């Protein structure tokens, strides 16, 4: 029986690419998303590729939806090995102007959603008694930030802490918990934000000289899911073309010698 991976927000972008790459690596994939049509489209793509997939509607911001969909996944596949907490949304707004509802919506999806999904998945992963993997999608904005990204950065910084805390709790179950922190990746989420001027500025600022692609994040997700990553846990892996190490001041020369 193939190992089973459940991916949240798998109807688009990084989640979709992760579902497709995991299916190519031999996982049966539970393709979950808030949007039924998007989940179905990703599942169809995997089936067309001779993989195994089943679509599910799952709203990670609602505990009842997460519990029901995760139970349905286990009932269908009979096991659960990997959870990819990918579903996420952005809202560009200053913290001081944010409403209660806006704060709750961002944190509720990006952070609480990962908690709900992990809490629902862990008992099923434990039942398999062969260990497992939880892979959280964080962000470069968990450690560096920009104006208007307060709610998003708060949620992703929380994701890093959640990753470390959960890793410690489930280590003796043979479950590893890691986060992938993407840099600036072209997906339906970011295409409207990346105007030509922003794209050019990023290409100059990112040491590897280009925006990232969803498949490059998915490849790291698949590695963390694999047996080769068996001794890695509690880590946040930045996949950002070197963005987070670049402290250069462009077009300026330092004084002195
Ligand atoms: N694209 C980037 O540059 C980038 C960078 C860093 C981190 N990320 C993170 O990667 C993840 C995926 O981003 P993306 O760029 O692929 O976005 P995307 O908008 O292309 O895809 C997100 C998917 O999540 C689904 N979704 C939204 N709310 C949901 C909910 N409540 N329950 C279930 N599904 C829900 C959407 O329907 C969509 O299919 C997010 O967590 C995002 O914060 C993206």
In the chain, where are the structural domains located?
4-242
Q: 86 CA distance to ligand 1 centroid (A)?
A: 6
Does the Cβ of 106 fall within 6 Å of ligand 1? Answer: no
The ligand 1 atom at the shortest distance from the C-alpha of residue 212 is 3
Q: Residues 221-240: pLDDT tens digits?
A: 999 999 999 999 999 999 99
Q: 88 CA distance to ligand 1 centroid (A)?
A: 4
- Closest residue to atom 43 of ligand 1, CA basis: 88
39-49 average pLDDT score: 98
198-212 average pLDDT score: 97
191-212 average pLDDT score: 96
Nearest to 3 by CA among 42, 33, 24, 29: 29
Catalytic residue among 56, 116, 124, 152: 152
Q: What angle do CA 86, 89, 95 make, to 5 degrees?
A: 130
231 is annotated as an active-site residue: no
pTM for this predicted structure: 0.98
Q: Residues 147-196: pLDDT tens digits?
A: 999 999 999 999 999 999 999 999 999 999 999 999 999 999 999 999 99
Instruction: Name the CATH code of domain 4-242 (choices 3.40.50.720, 3.30.1600.10, 3.40.50.620, 3.40.47.10).
Output: 3.40.50.720
- β-bridge partners, 135: 84, 178
Q: What are the Cα distances from residue 72, in Å, to 36, 45, 58, 75?
A: 15, 21, 11, 5
- What is the crossing angle of helices 63-77 and 113-128, to 10°? 30
């Amino acid at each position: 029986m193939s190992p089973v991976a459940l991916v949240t927000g798998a109807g688009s972008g990084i989640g979709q690419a992760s579902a497709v790459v995991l299916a190519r690596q031999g996982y049966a994939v539970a393709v979950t998303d808030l949007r039924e049509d998007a989940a179905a489209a990703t599942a169809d793509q995997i089936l067309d590729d001779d993989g195994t997939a089943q679509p599910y509607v799952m709203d990670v911001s609602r505990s009842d939806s997460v519990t029901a969909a995760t139970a349905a996944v286990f009932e269908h596949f009979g096991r659960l090995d990997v959870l990819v907490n990918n579903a996420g949304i952005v809202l560009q707004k200053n913290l001081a102007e944010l409403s209660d509802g806006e704060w709750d919506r961002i944190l509720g999806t990006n952070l609480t959603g990962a908690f709900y999904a992990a809490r629902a998945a862990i008992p099923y992963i434990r039942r398999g008694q062969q260990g497992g993997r939880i892979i959280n999608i964080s962000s470069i904005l968990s450690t560096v930030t920009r104006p208007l990204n307060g709610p998003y950065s708060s949620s992703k910084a929380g994701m890093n802490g959640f990753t470390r805390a959960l890793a410690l709790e489930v280590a003796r179950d043979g479950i590893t918990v890691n986060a992938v922190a993407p840099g600036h990746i072209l997906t339906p989420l970011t295409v409207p934000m990346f105007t030509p001027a922003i794209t050019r500025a990023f290409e100059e600022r990112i040491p590897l000289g280009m925006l990232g692609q969803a498949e490059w994040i998915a490849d790291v997700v698949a590695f963390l899911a694999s047996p080769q990553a068996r001794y890695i846990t509690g880590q946040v892996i930045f996949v950002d073309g070197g963005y987070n190490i670049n402290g250069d001041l462009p077009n300026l020369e330092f004084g002195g010698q």
